[in-house]
Amino acid sequence: MAIRHDIAEKLFTLETKNTSYQMKVDDYGFLLHLYYGEKIEGNMDYLLTYYDRGFCGNPYDAGTDRTYSMDVLPQEFPCLGNGDYRTPALIIKNADGSYSCDLRYKSYRVFSGKYGIDGLPAVYADEDTVLDDENRVETLEIVMEDACTGIQAVLKYGVLPEIDVITRQVQIRNYGKTEVSIEKLQSACLDFVTGDYDLLTFHGRHAMERNLQREAVAHGCKKIGSMRGTSSHQYNPMMILAEPQTNEDAGNCYSMSFVYSGGFQGEVEQDQFNQTRMIMGLQEEMFSYPLDVQDVLDAPEVIMTFSKNGLNKLSQNLHTCIRNHICRGKYKNEIRPILVNSWEAAYFDFNGDTIYQLAKQAKEVGVEMVVMDDGWFGKRDDDYSGLGDWFVNEKKLGCSLGSLIEKINGIGMKFGIWVEPEMVSMDSDLYRAHPDWALTIPGRNPNRSRYQLVLDFSRKEVVDAIYNDICKVLDMGNIEYLKWDMNRSLADVYSAVTDNQGKVMYDYVMGLYDFLERLGNRYPDLLIEGCSGGGGRFDAGMLYYTPQIWCSDNTDAINRVEIQYGTSFGYPTSAMGAHVSAVPNHQTGRTVPLCTRSVVAMAGSFGYELDLGKLSEGEKEEIRQENRKFRKYASLIQQGIYYRLSNPQTDAVGAWEVVNEEKTEALVSVVMLEKYANAAVSYVKVKGLRADAQYLEENSGKRYSGSALMAIGLPLPVEPGEYLAYQMHFISL
Give phi and psi for 81, each to the nearest 5: 125, -5
CA pseudo-torsion sign 173, 179, 184, 190: negative
CA–CA separation, 342 vs 378, rounded Å?
Answer: 18
Residue 199: CA count within 13 A, CB half-sphere: 24
CA–CA separation, 546 vs 26, rounded Å?
Answer: 43
> Which residues, listed in sequence order, are joined to residue 340 by a DSSP beta bridge?
370, 608
Strands 641-644 and 264-270: unpaired
Residue 331, C-beta contacts closer than 8 angstroms, at least 6 positions apart: 527, 547, 548
> Which residues, listed in sequence order, are joined to residue 222 by a DSSP beta bridge?
268
CA–CA separation, 353 vs 370, rounded Å?
Answer: 13
SS3 314: helix
Nearest one of 376, 384, 467, 457 to 417, comparing CA atoms: 376
> Which residues, listed in sequence order, are joined to residue 581 by a DSSP beta bridge?
609
Q: What's the count of helices (H) and strands (E) in the chain, helices before strands? A: 13, 39
Residue 567, C-beta contacts closer than 8 angstroms, at least 6 positions apart: 209, 210, 535, 538, 551, 576
CA–CA separation, 218 vs 177, rounded Å?
Answer: 43
**Contact (Cβ atoms closer than 8 angstroms) between residue 223 and residue 266:** yes
CA–CA separation, 520 vs 518, rounded Å?
Answer: 5
140 burial type by CB count under 10 A (0-12 exposed, 13-18 middle, 19+ buried): buried
CA–CA separation, 341 vs 482, rounded Å?
Answer: 11
DSSP 395: H
Residue 617, C-beta contacts closer than 8 angstroms, at least 6 positions apart: none
**Contact (Cβ atoms closer than 8 angstroms) between residue 12 and residue 108:** yes
**Contact (Cβ atoms closer than 8 angstroms) between residue 9 and residue 24:** yes
Catalytically annotated residues: 539, 619
CA–CA separation, 420 vs 423, rounded Å?
Answer: 6
DSSP code string of 124-185:
---TTSS-SGGG--EEEEEEEE-TTT-EEEEEEEEEEGGGTEEEEEEEEEE-SSS-EEEEEE
DSSP 612: G
CA–CA separation, 181 vs 262, rounded Å?
Answer: 20
CA–CA separation, 171 vs 174, rounded Å?
Answer: 10
DSSP code string of 62-121:
GTT-TT--TTTS-BSS-BTTSS--S--SEEEE-TTS-B----EEEEEEEEES----TTS-
